[in-house]
A and B are shown apart, each in its own frame.
Chain A
Amino acid sequence: MILIILKFILLPLLSPLMVGIVRKVKALMQNRQGARIYQPYFDLWKLFHKDEVISPDASWIFFATPYILFGLSILVLVAVPVFGSVESLIPFSDFLVVIYMVAAATFFLALSGIDVGSAFGGFGSSREMTLAALTEGVLLFALLPVALLTHTTNLALMATYAANLPVTSYFAVITAFLGYIIAMFSETGRIPFDNPATHLELTMIHEAMILEYSGKRLALIEWASANKLLFFALLGVNMFFPKGLTQAGDPMALLSAFGISVFKTILLLVVIAVAESSVAKFRLFRLPDILLTGFILGIIAILVAVI
């Protein structure tokens, strides 16, 4: 219980830093100085202290969505293992529950995109739901091989058992990880799926939906996106590269496991930032091809894992 509350407070505090790191690396890749890695904290602080302008067309869905989005994003963060097997007691730490909580958040975000009645928001929602619908299967099939290899769908147990898998199952795990990366790029709106830095109407997806938000609600949504990025990075490193997670329960072991998790996450995010800087954004109608590749990688991983 203490652990849950600790994670509930700690992990969201960490997530803007991760966004800052990714932005910094991308800036360096583009030969720019870039903002400090703490900049997202200042942005959030600023937004929380601004007044809001909300369209008269908006209904309660538009008002409530940021809270729902942020609430769900913390919950999935809490469900991801960062310490080790002690977290298997978190009752919603099941991979289907987590995937569908992410989907529920997307559902509400898409509704709020339609809610204010601008053409931007509607098209953003349409594109977001198209991608989300196709990504759900990729994500599920990327995590399923690990679940089948470790005989559990509890995220913490999956991670701890995955640390002791024999070398023969590495192929399945790596293949699944490649599928997972594709799903992660799609879900967190990275290039080649979406460009988190653009406001060009032809290309944007996520930004189009949240165009009408301002002030504290915008802050919550931005922060929730940061949480989602941290969630996918943490889940990725700890499901597929679980070295460092502990089975012990004493504070020192937990602390070091947490440190290692964060370190691995930063490493993955740096890799993602570099990868993102070296590809161009794809056309919307080319994206299903990438997702299909991810889906097939998942199928291969599952078949290798269980045969």
Chain B
Amino acid sequence: MIATLFLMIMSLYGIGAFTSLLFRKNKEVATIYGNFFAIAASVLGIILGGEILLTQTVLTGTFPTSLPLFSLTFRLDSLSAYFLLIISTVALASSTYGVGYMRHYFSKYNVGVFGFFYNLFLLSMVLVVTANNAFYFLSVWEIMSLSSLFLVLFEYHNGETLKAGIVYFVMTHVGTACIVAACLLLYGATGSFDFSTIARLSSHIPDAIKAAVFVLALIGFGTKAGIIPLHIWLPKAHSAAPSHVSALMSGVMIKLGIFMMFRFFIEILGQGPFWWGAIILAIGAISSVLGVLYALSEHDIKRLLAYHSIENIGIILLGLGSSMIFLSLHLPALALLAACAGLFHTFNHAIFKSLLFMGAGSVIHATHTRNIEEYGGLIKHMPYTALFFLIGSIAISGLPPFNGFASEWVTFQSLFAGISLLDVAGKTLFLFAAGSLALTGGLAAACFVKAFGITFLARPRSHESEKAKESSLWMIVPLGFLSLLTIIFGLGAGWIIEGLKQILLSVGNFGVAFSSSSTSPMTIVAQNGFAQLNMPIVFLSMVVSILVVYFFTRVISAKQKVARGATWDCGYIGLEGHMEITATAFSRTLIMIFKGLFQPSQQHQVEYIDADIRYLKKSHAVNIATENLYEKYFYTPLQIITEGISRKVKVIQGGNLNEYLLYIFIAIIGLLVWMRYF
């Protein structure tokens, strides 16, 4: 039954891909085929994931191939099933959304080809979480990277998009190269490409090899996850792709980097030394704070959201890193809680980030621009989109009562445990991480006041925003679905954490099985009663309290009337859109406070009514720009060095046949010498 479901999912995505390609001449039909099969497959994916999680079964199997080493072994255990759920949930929402969203591409681009790569992308993600053989894994990982690359390149008339695609292409392959190297090292040490076999033999792998695999895998999967400083592709690629693809990339694809980190660092390599966890924790702290700071300085709504993905990947890594540290110090109970925090935030972020990206997509659909400065007042024209975007904003800012708060709370608790239990070095590290998380939460709230406030509130700042229309039901319903999930995951946090504990225990390496806590699963308990959180009560008390206040006010001021009168403007009549605060102005204070990190530059352009007298200004424009320090100080020098070396190496490529024969001869001699003496 389970195996049939799995095969059905794969074939549905396959059918979706090819029918969409087949009917590419008819855009309506191609869109419907491309999305309909994806919807069906993702519903089945949710059923399959739920089924495996509930029954705790592990599905393994091999497709027959004639090639040695390259065996198509797949394995669906509960961790894979959890990520299958994440993929399928977001895929369900984004495919439904796509039916409405793809419409505005009909006149310009080939929607059928898009449907092909879209389904291929979804299929490859499902295969990535189920692959159990390094070769097979690398192939589907590559298919995932390439299919998403073509989705990023979809709006190819735009020069920016092409640039983003090239950066994405290069970065993703640097990452893949590192993963290939890591897999080859593992093969060298264990003689197998099979992940299960490698995991079984991992205690025999020498420490030096393990360390090398750790570093390579961290770079490889970290590039996909978008950790700082390997993140430069992420804001470019995610903003270039169509919005529901951005939702999939930001919500799901980068999480597969996290998934593989869990697989490699916790399951396959087993318990590592302290410094592994310490590095991941530090990267998490840095990525979270810098991610949110860069998001603050953005006023392209999709780039802003993309930077928030980096921030949230950082928060997830805080959970993973502290889990690895606790494992290395033989504190399995704490390690379990911290890993739960990471996994829980992974799903939460997938939900609210795809919600926000699709919400942003609806806004872009209505206003035809990604620039926040041209929005404003959209809440009146797009009330549903605004409400759902607000729910997403509250969740991502980590405010109660939604799911973002619950997972950040658990992350905080595992960091507190580290502060109270470890040695001085460990305490300082965890303190640094906790400080970063606190700062991140505050800055994220500031950033989403900006994102939501400037986009949806006040008066329209451009003609486009004035005549914006609410998007079609195809686009609203998925947003509502994801908002509902945001609330449900907040309320059900206790149950989900319990479930995650079961998943992680089955994955192993958390040693002892423990008795589940005595309290009801409604409450999340950290560190034997150090802290407790009961999300349903928090939710309920907030609702009740606000309602009580409302009715109390109704009673007291029953007779008072509400009149509508223009906003006070010091006596000036006729406030206009451009007199409101802008996104740049909103975040300017914070950018100036952190100017060491941003190195902002200001340019004034003043036009005078009379250029000689320079007294009355006609217009005054201020440009505040921030440098991309990574490109300036790291990637550009790296590129120059690489080019320099290539130029030097070019000398040996003479084009003379005798020369090449000489090289082959020298290589053979060298190899013989190597074989003889080493």
A: residues with CB less than 8 A from B are 8, 48-57, 59-61, 67-68, 70-72, 74-75, 91-92, 94, 96-97, 100-101, 103-104, 106-107, 110-111, 114-119, 121-123, 125-127, 129-130, 132-137, 140-141, 144, 147-148, 151-154, 211-212, 215-216, 220, 284-285, 288, 295, 299, 302-303, 306-307
Contacts and interface: CB of A to CB of B under 8 A. Distances in A.
Contact of B398 (A100, A111, A151, A153): A100
Contact of A119 (B420, B549, B581): B581
B427 A306 contact: yes
6 closest A-B pairs by beta carbon, nearest first, are A122-B581, A133-B442, A117-B458, A71-B546, A114-B453, A137-B438
A130 B449 CA distance: 11
24 contacts: A54-B563, A55-B564, A55-B565, A57-B458, A59-B379, A67-B550, A97-B400, A100-B398, A104-B399, A111-B452, A114-B449, A117-B376, A117-B458, A118-B568, A122-B458, A123-B581, A134-B593, A140-B434, A152-B530, A211-B568, A216-B560, A220-B553, A299-B431, A302-B431
Interface in B373-423: 376-377, 379-380, 386, 390, 394, 397-400, 405, 409, 412-413, 416, 419-420
B531 interface: yes
Contacts of B571: none
Given A115-B457, A130-B446, 9 more contacts: A59-B457, A70-B549, A91-B534, A114-B580, A117-B377, A153-B530, A215-B557, A216-B557, A216-B560
Interface in B221-251: none
A215 B396 CA distance: 33
Nearest to B461: A117
Contacts of A60: 379
Residue among B377, B442, B563 facing the most chain A CB atoms (10 A cut-off): B442
A118 B545 contact: no
Interface of B: 376-377, 379-380, 386, 390, 394, 397-400, 405, 409, 412-413, 416, 419-420, 424, 427-428, 431, 434-435, 438-439, 441-443, 445-446, 448-450, 452-454, 456-459, 529-534, 537-538, 541-542, 545-550, 553, 556-557, 560-569, 575, 577, 579-581, 585-590, 592-593
Contacts of B452: 111
Nearest to B412: A96
A303 B431 contact: yes
B380 A72 contact: no
Given A111-B449, A151-B530, A123 B585 contact: yes
Contact of B400 (A52, A100, A141): A100
Residue from B441, B549, B590 whose CB has the most chain A CB atoms within 10 Å? B549
Contacts of A53: 562-565
Given A71-B549, A307-B424, A54 B449 contact: no
A253 to B, nearest CB: 25
A94 B567 contact: no
A165 B379 CA distance: 53
B580 A130 contact: no
B184 to A, nearest CB: 44
Contacts of B435: 137, 141, 295, 299
B545 to A, nearest CB: 4
B567 A57 contact: yes
A220 B554 CA distance: 12
**Best-buried of A49, A57, A70 by chain B (most CB within 10 Å):** A57
B89 to A, nearest CB: 26
Contacts of B547: 71
A292 to B, nearest CB: 10
B531 A152 contact: yes
B444 to A, nearest CB: 8
A207 to B, nearest CB: 13
Nearest to A292: B593
A60 B564 CA distance: 14
A75 B439 contact: no
A52 B563 CA distance: 6
A216 B554 CA distance: 9
Contacts of A133: 439, 442-443, 445-446, 590
Contacts of B380: 59
Given A52-B561, A133-B442, A220-B553, A125 B377 contact: no
A148 to B, nearest CB: 5
A215 B579 CA distance: 26
A12 B252 CA distance: 45
Nearest to A115: B457
Contacts of B428: 303
Nearest to B421: A306
A109 B516 CA distance: 41
A59 B228 CA distance: 38
Given A94-B532, A307-B427, A148 B419 contact: yes
Given A118-B567, A153-B531, A125 B420 contact: no
B427 A303 contact: yes
A272 B419 CA distance: 32
B563 A288 contact: no
A122 to B, nearest CB: 3
B545 A129 contact: no
A134 B593 CA distance: 10
A74 B549 contact: yes
A49 B560 contact: yes
Contacts of A97: 400, 409, 533, 538
A285 B394 CA distance: 27
B389 to A, nearest CB: 12
Contacts of B441: 100, 103, 136
B593 A48 contact: no
A92 B568 contact: no
Contacts of B445: 103, 106-107, 129, 132-133
A8 B386 CA distance: 32
Contacts of A57: 377, 458-459, 567
A193 to B, nearest CB: 13
B545 A122 contact: no
A56 B431 CA distance: 47
B399 A103 contact: yes
Contacts of B450: 126, 129
A89 B278 CA distance: 37
Nearest to B528: A151
Contacts of A48: 553, 556-557, 560
Contacts of A306: 419-420, 427
A279 to B, nearest CB: 21
Contacts of B427: 303, 306-307
A299 B428 CA distance: 9
B400 A101 contact: yes
Nearest to B587: A126
